Structure 1
Amino acid sequence: MEQERHGKKRRFHEFLENYYELSKNGTDVKTEIIAGMTTFLTMAYVLAVIPGFLKEAGIPEGGLYTAVCLIAMTGTLMHALFSKLPVATAPGLGLTVFFVSTVVGRMGYTWQQGLAAVTISGVVLVLVTASSVRRIVLDGLPENIKTAITAGVGLFIALIGLKSSGIIVATETGLFLGNFKESSVQLSVFGLLLMLILMARNVKGALIISIIATTLLGIPMGVTDLSKWHGFVLPGGVGDLFFKQDFKGLLGQKDVFSGLINIVMIVLTISMVDFFDKIGTLLAIASKGKLYNEKGEVKNMKKALLCESSITIISSFFGATTTSTYLECTAGIAEGGRTGLAAFSTAVLFGVSFFLSGIVSIIPGAATSPALIVVGVLMLGVVTKIDFHDLTEGAPAFFAITLMPFTMSVAEGVAGAVISYVVLKLATGRKKEIKPIMYILAILFILKLSLT
């Protein structure tokens, strides 16, 4: 019996090795599982935050936690099995806010009509990804801008971590240092220093060790709130959310002309922001984990984008918004995650979260935010590859790096870089260096900015 069990275990490991090519990617099963757990812990907050936003749009609250868990698990599992990249997905925070505040709030559409727009944008992205447009866009982006995207994403991630930790606070007049007398800020600093020390000493699993240790230390400090634990509970059903898109209402809510203009604006905004968020994040993740094929291209980029576009459509059927590849995946990559096995580990934990809303909710931001700061430190190093001596190259790269954290959007950083690149090259008589797709992208970004 013992020999048979060992035989099954060996065959299972051989299957994982062959399917994910672990040795070829310089990793192993243990490393991938730890990486997947790290990714989950750093992005588990979405299970509480996204439902909180969506209910403000009038979406029935009862099944939202279940829906977000289901979408995150399904989308991440698609990556694990199809793109085989160590990434995780869930309804995106930026586009969720756009959905609630602009589509439903300012523009006056119902949440059912808004979900119909999300479905349409998902279909558009599937068509764009399946066509040659994706490749043309990637080939058309200058190398300095691609490199700047990685650095910009790093700063973006670091800013998120600094704000959620309380080390930096945002006010109406700007960003300032937080109150270091607060226990939560002190705990964040402890977690950050512990994480940096363990990583500097090459301790395996440094991030997840720090997250767990910081969470435990937060109990006597009063930061880890054990009162949020409410045991193992069955999640709410999604019957009130399933297949509620109102396509007829979306198309006929206003007069034909203004209604069509509004719909085009919504779909264009969602599609462009989503497309460049996904590309920017995948480029940054690939750079951090060296996830390139023999041609120097991001591994399985097309499959990854198809996964994301497809899960966006599925998400709209369950009452949630456009999905995103989360920047927090870079925390798992920093732990050594290199294949879809890490994503599989994350997907399993999202599945388990159906019944663990209490445990997920007690992990404080002070424990997870240091991981984002550390990842930002690691990703910013690529700026040394950017040619800042040539202002027509350096300035667009600078705009990408700075606009991403300051506007809290990867897509806005890409927009600033693309528009400034085209203008500067034309103004200095270097239009031969501009690839045709850059003109099209610049026009689309200007149109998007003018419409919103």
Structure 2
Amino acid sequence: MNQEATFMQKLFPLLTNKDVDKKTEMMAGLTTFLTMAYIIAVNPSILSETGMPAGALVTSTCLGAAIGCFIMGLIADMPFALASGMGLNAYFAYTVVLGMGVSWEVALTAVFVEGIIFIILSLCKVREAVVNAIPKNLKLAVSGGIGLFIAFIGLVNCGLVVNNDSTLVSMGHFTPAVIVTCVGLVITAVLSKKNIRGSILIGIVVSSLLAWGYALMNPEAAANLGIYLPSGVFKFESPAPIVNKIDFGYITHPDSMFQFITVLCTFLFVDFFDTVGTVVGVASKANMVDEDGKVKNVGRALLADAFATTIGSWLGVSTVTTYVESSTGVLEGGKTGYTAITVGVLFLLAMFFSPIFIAVPSCATAPALIYVGYLMLSAVKDIDFGDITEGVPAFMAIGGMALTYSIGDGLTLGVLSYVFINVLYNLIAPKEDRKHVSVVMIILAILFILKLWFM
């Protein structure tokens, strides 16, 4: 009996958690879910451009996210939530299917193969080695960079920051959507200062109610700002039209094999380093990094992510990956897999209540993203900016994530600058001042150069 219990605990470390504040974990899960619930509407909107039925995509998006969260919570005991990744879904639809003329079934096959490769890499601890090889200061920079990145997303989503052909970006007009975001941010900050639990969630709820109130008074103007009242309460669509549509026939033709490999490599590269960046950044903020700079249970977390990608493709959705919005739940007190499981349960419920969750507007989740961005950016105070060989790469990673609108690209700039600066410095520095640059970091730099050259 004890041996069986020990085996189950090793398989599912979540079971070893005894003194867990379930209420806090559930609140954290709810907060994370609300900040990423937009994917329920956005993912079907993007993927349906390929000809896939939008109704089935809503259900499969929720199922893929739920299963990914359950796996993460059970086998990794981490508070990370998963769903179909933004950016990767756009690449899937617009570049691969519409741009290259590849069917969505073949694109799903590329995602499926990507997941299998990631499972192998995770079991061989390759991905874990990459995470642990990133220096401590760069890890802190990734956390800070993600903070700046998601705050930027929040500012763009509400319309406070807009496109400008002359300056790239500029301040937008103070529309009702921007005002809703500002009110939500002030409420979140004040409640947090008063140490009131669930302050981020309260900010989202209040902002949503304000936005819906505006939509009730002026539906047409609200619609122009992306604010809509819930279209109903209950709705469920069968995922059958897109489930189990993996098609390997495309790979067997020599003419199409190279194109398939190109698509596969892009999926692999973007997802690999976006996930690594997200896991490192959120884990750093959640105090899940030990004195040696290693992330707790990172191998299991990356394996869970790989399983989720594979299962998601079978369900009919693009790459399922770890979400940076997990940081909102972490900063609400989520520390264990119970947070991830809570998110998974809410995604299952959302399959039947999707009209409500879909109606939560971007201006209502923006306060959470901006506030969490501020909290995560605080990690930079622990970076040793006095050491130029550490500070400059950290700065490149922080600025790169927000300014390239990509966690993976920011990590690329950070790693490349770290390796180049330190290798060159080691060539001219006295032996006692030379800094160790790990082989893994050098290999990463070579891979990044190849990526920039060929992709």
Number of paired residues? 428
Q: Tell me, yes or no, if the aligned pair for 2:251 and 2:257 is still in contact at 8 Å.
A: no
1:394, 1:263 → 2: CA distance? 40
Q: Tell me, yes or no, if the aligned pair for 2:128 and 2:298 is still in contact at 8 Å.
A: no
Corresponding residue to 1:267 among 264, 267, 279? 264
Letter of the 2:266 counterpart = T
Residue 78 of structure 1 corresponds to: 71
Q: Unaligned stretches of 5+ in structure 2?
A: 1-12, 216-221, 428-433
Corresponding residue to 1:176 among 170, 174, 182? 170
3-state DSSP class of the match of 2:242? coil
Q: 1:358 to 1:395 in 2, by over 3 A?
A: same
1:110, 1:448 → 2: CA distance? 25
Residue 94 of structure 2 corresponds to: 101
Q: 1:293 to 1:28 in 2, by over 3 A?
A: farther
Q: 1:369 to 1:124 in 2, by over 3 A?
A: same
Residue 63 of structure 1 corresponds to: 56
Residue 304 of structure 1 corresponds to: 301
Residue 313 of structure 1 corresponds to: 310
- Deviant stretches of 4+, over 6 Å: none
Q: 1:363 to 1:20 in 2, by over 3 A?
A: farther
Residue 346 of structure 1 corresponds to: 343
1:280 to 2:277 alignment: yes
Corresponding residue to 1:135 among 128, 146, 171? 128
3-state DSSP class of the match of 1:170? strand
3-state DSSP class of the match of 1:338? coil
The TM-score, its normalising length taken from structure 2, stands at: 0.89
Letter of the 2:230 counterpart = K
Letter of the 1:440 counterpart = I
The TM-score, its normalising length taken from structure 1, stands at: 0.89
Q: Which moved more, 1:78-87 or 1:260-269?
A: 260-269
Task: Return the offset for 1:294.
Answer: 8.3
Task: Return the offset for 1:226.
Answer: 5.8
1:184-203 correspondence to structure 2 within 5 Å: 184-203=177-196
3-state DSSP class of the match of 2:241? coil
1:244 to 2:245 alignment: yes
When the two chains are superposed, the root-mean-square deviation of aligned CA atoms in Å is: 2.2
Q: Which moved more, 1:292-301 or 1:349-358?
A: 292-301
Q: 1:128 to 1:359 in 2, by over 3 A?
A: same
* Cα shift readout 1:66-92 (whole Å, capped 9, x = no counterpart): 100110111111112221111110010
Letter of the 1:240 counterpart = P
Q: 1:294 to 1:149 in 2, by over 3 A?
A: closer
1:156 to 2:185 alignment: no
Residue 398 of structure 1 corresponds to: 395
Task: Return the offset for 1:107.
Answer: 2.6
Q: Tell me, yes or no, if the aligned pair for 1:85 and 1:343 is still in contact at 8 Å.
A: yes
2:355, 2:435 → 1: CA distance? 58
Q: 1:57 to 1:277 in 2, by over 3 A?
A: same
1:433 to 2:436 alignment: yes
3-state DSSP class of the match of 1:236? coil
2:380, 2:435 → 1: CA distance? 25
2:364, 2:197 → 1: CA distance? 18
Q: Unaligned stretches of 5+ in structure 1?
A: 1-16
Letter of the 2:451 counterpart = K
Q: Tell me, yes or no, if the aligned pair for 2:228 and 2:361 is still in contact at 8 Å.
A: no
1:429, 1:359 → 2: CA distance? 58
Task: Return the offset for 1:138.
Answer: 2.6
2:197, 2:355 → 1: CA distance? 28
1:56, 1:367 → 2: CA distance? 26
Residue 106 of structure 2 corresponds to: 113
- State the percentage of identical aligned residues: 39
Q: Which moved more, 1:122-131 or 1:96-105?
A: 96-105
Residue 11 of structure 1 corresponds to: none
1:106, 1:153 → 2: CA distance? 30
Task: Return the offset for 1:422.
Answer: 2.0
